[in-house]
Amino acid sequence: MCGIIGIIGNSDVAPRLLESLRRLEYRGYDSAGIAVQTGHGPERRRAEGKIRNLEAVIDEQPLPGVVGIGHTRWATHGAPSVRNAHPHHYGKVTLVHNGIIENFAELKAELKAKGQVFESDTDTEVIAHLLNDALEGGQPLKDAFKRVLDRLHGAYALAILVEGEENTILGARRGSPLVIGWGENDEMFLGSDALAVGPFTQRVTYLEEGDWVILSRGGAQTFDAQGFLVNRPVTTVSASAALVEKGSYRHFMEKEVHEQPDSCQRTLSAYLDPVAGEVRADIKAALDFSQIVRIQIIACGTAYYAGSVARYAFEKLAGLPVDVEVASEFRYRSPAMMPGTLAVAVSQSGETADTLAALRWCKDEGLKTAAVVNVHSSTMAREADLMWPTHAGPEIGVASTKAFTAQLSALLCLAVCAARQRGRITAHEEAHLVQVLLESPGLISQALGMDADIVRITHKLSKARDVIYLGRGDMYPLALEGALKLKEISYIHAEGYAAGELKHGPIALIDENTPVVVIAPDDALFEKTASNVQEVAARGGRVIMITDTPEKVPALSEDAARTLTVVKAPACDPFIAPLVYSVPIQLLAYHTAVHKGTDVDQPRNLAKSVTVE
């Protein structure tokens, strides 16, 4: 979603605004722009498409000045065009916005009735009009800003320049995050996340929900939603959170796939005590699963599939009923919740609008809430009763990979914790499962060795129009995740099905042009999945079978065998198979996309952190 940067600097800011916008590219965007205080009011440069287009505009028409704001836009209201690109401007006010102003139509009608003319189709532009009106009416800056914020419904993170206030940037957050960055020599920054200000400073203040700020040279006055002056702490983010580079990898996604042995290791270490051979005492002390009667997992996208995999573990190991639902449905369904239910939001960013709203709904219902989040300073992390961190590190590729396996790692550890606390497993069994979990980083590393085999098959796969993914048990949600990954980055239509459902419809799609990816570890369901492979092969379908046990694949007729490709995965305990098999499905999508030449890290129309409904 939209990215924001604001800088009060000591030297020309345009190059630094651009540098920051490049850091924000990962969030997904379709136009970009900057505005700089030039001495006679803020001036703008905007361009449709990539940042390099904006750079070209600025090269032609440079924008000197030491105070400025910048924005990458992910279109919601109005097509991606220069006209709709931020910053928006009216009278004395120039601003950028992330979020959606839900009452913009009503505000726009009111402003139009006064004769004001709008130059864009965006919801954002009304804010510029409202603030300009308040300032023209003679209100002091602070009062005018507060008054305007009080009129806005919906979600926003804002950065605003005002003509005549050369050393000031106004900022506000509600629903969309915003951080203050504290630089050297009185330089100050405002950003939509720590990565935005990362090239300039690691000292940041996370604004809280409803906060707004008057940023000046060397300082910031922060107010809460009621308008009271507040003091929010300054924290130092790690260099890795502040600066993320691709290194020698072609894409962030490739790098992040390869980081998984480390990111899983880090996450497992936060939950497991390898010496004692049990779940860490602090995790056990934070929640007693024997008091929980049911778990409701709420999430979106890839995080939803992590939750769907975890359901199998919680139910099988801990005997704990689990429901998993996409947050956008859950929040509007008026679900009937049972007392004693633990609501668990799963989210990489901790900011996804629907997941956050669903979490809040559960809190309002009086349920205990927990959040499995990768961004530990996120809104969900702060609002849930309990934060279960993942330690994937910053994930830049829009298609989630290491965040997914980190979520799986955390959730599998929690399932072991729940099983033990509910008396479903003995200390000995707990120690065994802990050992199995601790082996997963090594096995993930081995799975990365499947790269060359996968590259070989993706050449052909990249020509497909449709692909079907099949799996059983916890490989079923992994099949769904595999299909999502492929469509997200290669734009090939893909569907995941429970292998047992094949005969109930999808089999009608099978022909030589529709490859079927079968995820079949050597587990209790292997034979059943292998039968489904037979059914596909018998109909001339091309099968790519990912398994650690090729020797068990049933003998096929000579014709059918020609259409079967087996990709050998490392052998592993079925409990951690979702972690290990995530790697080949990620690599399959990645290399297919590379073959097709799509924009792997920033696939069309997609955003990393979906902070609007």
C-alpha distances (whole Å) from 598 to each of 399, 483, 489, 490, 591 are: 13, 16, 7, 6, 10
Among 8, 196, 372, 398, binds ligand G6P (CB under 6 A): 398
Q: How far is the CB of 610 from ligand G6P (least distance, A)?
A: 5
| Cβ-contact 93, 131 below 8 angstroms | yes
Interface with ligand G6P includes 349 (CB under 6 A)? Answer: yes
Nearer to ligand G6P by C-beta: 27 or 89? 27
Contacting ligand G6P (CB under 6 A), which of 120, 176, 308, 352?
A: 352
Angle between helices 141-151 and 125-136 (to 10 degrees): 140
Q: How far is the CB of 177 from ligand G6P (least distance, A)?
A: 12
Among 72, 328, 400, 405, binds ligand G6P (CB under 6 A): 400
Residue 582 interacts with ligand G6P (CB under 6 A): yes or no: no
Nearest distance from residue 306's CB to ligand G6P, in Å?
8
β-pairing verdict for 212-216 and 168-174: antiparallel
Question: Is the CB of 95 or the CB of 306 nearer to ligand G6P?
Answer: 306
What's the sign of the alpha-carbon dihedral 470, 303, 2, 65? negative
473 binds ligand G6P (CB under 6 A): no
Beta carbons of 500 and 527 less than 8 angstroms apart: no
Site string for ligand G6P, 300-329 (x = CB under 6 A): xxxx--------------------------
Among 370, 414, 610, 612, binds ligand G6P (CB under 6 A): 610
In angstroms, the CA 361 to CA 607 distance is 24
Rounded Cα distance, 211 and 310, in Å: 36
Specify the stretch interacting with ligand G6P by CB under 6 A; choose among 37-45, 176-184, 280-288, 392-400: 392-400
The beta strands (E) that lie in 331-391 are given as: 341-347, 368-373, 386-389
Nearest residue (CB) to ligand G6P, 222 versus 308: 308
Residue 144's identity, in one-letter code, is: A
Beta bridge partners of 175: 156
Q: Using CB under 6 A, which of 84, 205, 609, 611 touches ligand G6P?
A: 609
Please say which residue, 66 or 370, places its beta carbon nearer to ligand G6P: 370
**Minimum distance, C-beta of residue 440 to ligand G6P, in the bound complex (Å):** 21
Torsion, CA 374, CA 375, CA 377, CA 382, rounded to 10? -50
Q: Does 348 bind ligand G6P (CB under 6 A)?
A: yes
Our finding on whether 353 is near ligand G6P (CB under 6 A) is no
- With residue 36 as reference, give the H or E element that holds it: strand 31-37
Which of 237-245, 255-263, 298-306, 362-370 is the region at the interface with ligand G6P (rule: CB under 6 A)?
Answer: 298-306
Tokens of 215: 């940023």
Q: Which stretch binds ligand G6P (CB under 6 A): 42-50, 232-240, 346-354, 514-522?
A: 346-354
- Residue 501 neighbours by CB distance under 10 Å: 14
| 2 labelled catalytic | yes
* E strands in 217-276: 219-223, 229-230, 235-236, 272-273
Which stretch in 408-416, 529-537, 592-600, 604-612 sits in contact with ligand G6P by CB under 6 A?
Answer: 604-612
**DSSP for residue 573:** -
- In the bound state with ligand G6P, the residue whose beta carbon lies nearer, of 301 and 584, is 301
Amino acid code (one letter) for 63: L
Q: Considering the complex, what minimum distance in angstroms separates the CB of residue 348 from ligand G6P? A: 3
75, 230, 606, 613: residue in contact with ligand G6P (rule CB under 6 A)? 606
Q: For residue 268, which of 384, 400, 387, 405 has the smallest C-alpha distance?
A: 405
| CB of 307 or CB of 541, closer to ligand G6P | 307
403 vs 566, which CB is nearer to ligand G6P?
Answer: 403
Q: What is the DSSP letter of 289?
A: G
Distance (Å, rounded) from C-alpha 564 to C-alpha 326?
A: 34
Q: How far is the CB of 390 from ligand G6P (least distance, A)?
A: 10
Asked whether 315 and 422 are in contact (CB, 8 A), the reply is: no
Contact between residue 424 and residue 319 where contact means Cβ atoms under 8 Å apart: yes
Of the pair 57, 406, the CB lying nearest ligand G6P is at 406
Q: How far is the CB of 480 from ligand G6P (least distance, A)?
A: 12
Q: CB of 351: closest distance to ligand G6P in angstroms?
A: 7
608 contributes a contact to ligand G6P by CB under 6 A: yes
What is the crossing angle of helices 427-448 and 577-596, to 10°? 20
Q: How many residues bind ligand G6P (CB under 6 A)?
A: 16
Nearer to ligand G6P, 128 or 299 (CB): 299
Q: Is 224 left (phi over 0), alpha (psi -120 to 50) or beta?
A: beta
Cα distances (Å, whole numbers) of residue 459 to 196, 462, 463, 590, 601:
36, 5, 7, 12, 19
d(CA 549, CA 565): 13
Is residue 379 part of the contact set for ligand G6P (CB under 6 A)?
no
Of the residues 255, 402, 485, 608, only one is catalytic, namely 608
* Secondary structure letter of residue 551 according to DSSP: G
Q: Does 455 bind ligand G6P (CB under 6 A)?
A: no
CB 371 within 8 A of CB 344: yes
Contacts of 355 (CB under 8 A, 6+ apart): 298, 299, 300, 303, 327, 345, 346, 347, 380
Shortest Cβ distance from residue 372 to ligand G6P (Å)? 9
In angstroms, the CA 360 to CA 363 distance is 5
The answer to whether the CB of 572 falls within 8 A of the CB of 444 is no
Q: In whole angstroms, how close is the CB of 465 to ligand G6P at the nearest point?
A: 23
Q: Give me the residue whose beta carbon is nearest to ligand G6P.
A: 301
**List 2, 362, 417, 572, catalytic entry:** 2
347 binds ligand G6P, rule: CB under 6 A: yes
Pick 3 or 506: Cβ nearer ligand G6P: 3
Q: State the nearest-atom distance from the C-beta of 580 to ligand G6P, in Å.
A: 20
Interface residues toward ligand G6P, by CB under 6 A: 300-303, 347-349, 352, 355, 398-400, 606, 608-610
The residues annotated as belonging to the active site are 2, 608
